[in-house]
Structure 1
Amino acid sequence: MTRSAAILGAGIGGLAIAGLLSRAGWHVEVFERAPNLPTSGTALGMWPHALTALDAVGVGDRVREAGSPPHRGSFLRPDGSVIGTIDNTSRTTYMLSRPALLAALHEALPTGAVAFDTPAPPLDALTSHDVTIGADGLRSATRRQLFGDGYEPLYTGVTAWRGWVPGHRDEASETWDKSALFGITPRDGDLVNWYACVRADEGFDGGIDYLRSRFGTWHTEVGAVLEAVTPDAMLHHDLYESRALPSYVSGRTALLGDAAHAMAPNLGRGASEALVDAATLGRLLTHSNDIRDALLRYDRARRRPTHRLVRGSRIMSAVAMTRHLRPTRDLAVKLAARLA
């Protein structure tokens, strides 16, 4: 008898788990309230464990071919002087835009598996499925139905801009100052990816003029990016992180990705961890006759590691934008880079 899964959300984690289950012979229905996949977005880091997950979905080679591997990463001061450098030549990490990754995952699914422009039904309307998977992001309605309103995400105190400009780049850099940072990385499509963060009140409003004023005196690479930025190639979001959930599962329903563990982007692990969630959950579901047991094993495998990453991302944000002890921070980064 064919098993079935209702997947709520066609983001990275939702499409990945749909692909894994459908490859194992499951019938999958993906509900997505947006009318289509996004056509614009910034670069995501695909770490080795995420590439392994993508291999299981059948799109790993496509991601490697399309993605851009940063050969070196540098931490800089606003004047361009180097805090520390990490050689990435031995690491298989790729930068790939969100639209390209989503397109690859979607094309690996059976035709019609995703119902676009279709809000997810409430959980009690999905009982005919063997399992329901909440992959509905930061403001997850599935999480709210399972655990109530007490686990809404927390504002991190940081707002962020992300975007892309024409060009090519083989190296990544992140420039740190008190209460602010600016990152520049490779990405696919003959473009350069960039991001900027500042400490600010929730709902802070600032556009290109603000960015040029705030970062315009930094080193020349930052200035060149800001000079090329256009409003239609820039996104602005406040940053949030999840409260620690008591479980990622309830009955025959599981949460994955940002619905379970949204984190600040400072470790660059959010998208990769959604893929690892999907790979772990897919493997356990397809190798067990007991759905509830598989979900409990998924929770044991993923909840504590991702809780640690949420905390680690918060700590990394504090370190990068520290208002105090910058000489101590710089020395610690130099030592860590030598050991990397």
Structure 2
Amino acid sequence: MARAVVIGAGIGGLTAAVALQRRGWDVTVCERASSLEPVGSGLAVAANALKALDTIGVGDEIRKLSAVQGEGGIRRSDGRWLMRTTAEAASARYGDSVVLLRRADLVDALSARLEPGTVRLGAAVSRADPGSGLVTTDAGELEADLVVAADGIHSPTRAALFPGHPGPRYAGITSWRVLVPGGGLPGQTSESWGAGQVFGVMPLAGGLAYCYGTDTVPAGGGGGDQRAELLRLFGGWHSPIPELLAAASPDAVLRNDVHHLVEPLPAMHRGRVALLGDAAHPMTPNMGQGACQAIEDAVVLAHVASEGTGLAAYTSARLARTARITARSASICRATRLRAPLAVRLRDTMMTLAGRLAPGRVTRAMDEVLGWTPPA
């Protein structure tokens, strides 16, 4: 039986583990944390990722756990709509809409499909040899025919495989994320743009609201009451943003500087080691495709590895696509960072005109991303 070692038990790593086990692999997941409590709060799973999850038997469960995005789009900080779209338009074009759920629910659904003992918690990996597939952990060595490095944005495995690569850079924005109980507004999903700032509201199942904000600030800040910071930044924006922030627990607010890969890697593998998700292509959150691309990576990698065509086929299938999406997300991020009043007015005017003159263009613009289909 072929053996795989997965480094990291995030969404990408767990998806890869499930996909490989379904194809008959003996899989061990090494997770340095002592529990599977997921970092993050809410998550959008788009049509492309749902198709990938269908191939491992998880898609329908995720649809049942989720709230479906209703009317959505982009607004100004005063609430005026700039662009709008609907879940029906996306479903008609791609066969699925975007479903919204807690990150923890997706992690639980994936881990429940793994064979008992697959995940080793508190198992830090110090080295993965691309030639032999030998993985060194603080609890001993593991032999593998395939090593899946899903060890995050600041992946030590990526740095070891490609020591000359510059790695991720600060994208110029810091993000805040929080779940608000009782704040869900069914069917009302929006992202609002101001001068260098963004605030998003996503309704989840069970009356929860997932809220996120970004601001153009220097990296390395933080500390203190982050809910108070959000109220300072967004408390004067349109309803229901101030009300949601007032209802949020200060202890539930997560703050992170956003990093992304400006220069794509030369490959997404080396020898027996394949990079996946944020380890391979960290991106800004502006397209909601970070987790979705990790899920795509996982099912494609399991397919390629099981077909025996070599990991070069994995790089061929994934590198150019993820590089394009990473670059496109970064370009949207740059648009949100505009602060000069004239530049902001011009940006908003162009978005409004695009939405009015070509209303279907908003949906069609996502064809390359959402129209993807997994390997047969």
TM-score (norm 2): 0.85
Q: Is the 8 A contact 2:180 2:247 kept in 1?
A: yes
Identical aligned pairs, as a percentage? 36
Amino acid at match of 2:71: R
Q: CA deviation at 1:55?
A: 1.3
Q: CA deviation at 1:336?
A: 4.1
Q: Does 1:209 align with 2:228?
A: yes
| 1:65-98 Cα distance to aligned partner (Å, 9 max, x none) | 0011111113111111111211122432101211
Structure 2 stretches lacking a partner, 5+ long: 92-96, 136-141, 364-376
Alignment-derived partner of residue 272 in structure 1: 292
The DSSP-based 3-state class of the residue aligned with 1:226 is helix
CA distance in 2, matches of 1:232, 1:39: 16
1:41 counterpart residue number: 40
Structure 1 residue identity aligned to 2:253: M
| Aligned twin of 1:112 | 117
Q: Is the 8 A contact 2:283 2:326 kept in 1?
A: yes
1:179 is matched by which residue type in structure 2?
G
Unaligned runs of at least 5 residues, structure 1: none
Question: Displacement, 1:188?
Answer: 3.1
Which of 176, 179, 191 is 1:161 aligned to?
176
In structure 1, the partner of 2:337 is 321
Query: 1:72–1:171: 8 Å Cα contact kept in structure 2?
Result: yes
Q: Quick one: which amino acid aligns to residue 102 of structure 1?
A: V
1:106-136, CA deviations, whole angstroms, 9 ceiling, x for partnerless residues?
A: 0011011010111124113337311111000
In the alignment, structure 1 residue 262 sits paired with structure 2 residue 277: no
Contact 2:17 2:29 in 1 (8 A): yes
Task: Give, in whole Å, the separation in 1 of the partners of 2:104 and 2:164.
Answer: 31
Q: What do you get for the CA RMSD once the two structures are aligned?
A: 1.6
- Cα 1:4–1:40, aligned 2, differ >3 Å: closer, same or farther? closer
SS at match of 2:297: helix
| Displacement after TM superposition at 1:152 (Å) | 2.8
What number of residue pairs does the alignment pair up?
Answer: 335
Range moving further from structure 2, 185-194 or 231-240? 185-194
Distance in 1 between residues matched to 2:283 and 2:255, nearest whole Å: 16
Provide Cα deviations, 1:280-318, integer angstroms capped at 9, x if missing partner. 111111122x4xx2x101101111111111111111112
In the alignment, is the contact (CA less than 8 A) between 2:76 and 2:194 conserved in 1? yes
The CA distance in 1 between the partners of 2:86 and 2:159, in whole Å, is: 42
Q: 1:47 offset after TM fit, Å?
A: 0.9
* Aligned 8 A contact 1:159 1:237 in 2: yes
Task: Give the corresponding residue for 1:129.
Answer: 144
- Aligned partners of 1:117 and 1:328: how far apart in 2? 51
CA distance in structure 1 between the aligned counterparts of 2:73 and 2:6, rounded to whole angstroms: 39
Report the CA distance shift for 1:307/1:40 in structure 2 as closer, same or farther (over 3 A). closer
Q: Residue type of the partner of 1:299? A: T
- How far apart, in 1, do the equivalents of 2:200 and 2:164 lie? 34
C-alpha deviations, 1:141-184, integer Å up to 9, x for none? Answer: 11111112643310011001000112322221111111111110
Would the aligned equivalents of 2:196 and 2:337 in 1 still touch at CA under 8 Å?
Answer: yes
SS of 1:227's partner is helix
> What is the rounded CA distance, in whole Å, between the counterparts of 2:206 and 2:175 in structure 1?
23
Partner amino acid, structure 2, of 1:320: T
Specify the code of the residue in structure 1 equivalent to 2:283: M
1:230 equivalenced with 2:229 (yes/no): no
Q: Which moved more, 1:97-106 or 1:84-93?
A: 84-93
Shift of 1:271: 0.4
Q: What amino acid does structure 2 have at the position aligned with 1:278? A: A
Q: CA deviation at 1:49?
A: 1.3
Contact 1:176–1:321 (CA<8 Å) still a contact in 2? no
Residues 165, 265 of structure 2: 8 Å contact kept: no
- The one of 95, 98, 101 equivalent to 2:103 is 98
* 1:176-200 CA distance string (max 9 Å, x none): 1111111101223420000010000
Q: Aligned pair in 2 of structure 1 residues 39, 326: CA closer, same or farther (>3 Å)? A: closer
Q: Which amino acid aligns with 2:20?
A: L
Deviation at 1:326, TM superposition (A): 2.6
Shifted more, 256-265 versus 277-286: the winner is 277-286
| More moved, 118-127 vs 52-61 | 118-127
Displacement of 1:332: 3.0
Give the 3-state SS of the residue equivalent to 1:89 in structure 2.
helix
Relative to 1, partners in 2 of residues 1:275 and 1:39: Cα closer, same or farther, differing over 3 Å? Answer: closer
Distance between the aligned counterparts of 2:251 and 2:38, measured in 1? Answer: 12
Counterpart CA distance in 1 for 2:76 and 2:151 is 37
User: What's the counterpart of residue 207 of structure 2?
Assistant: 190
Runs of 4+ off more than 6 Å: none
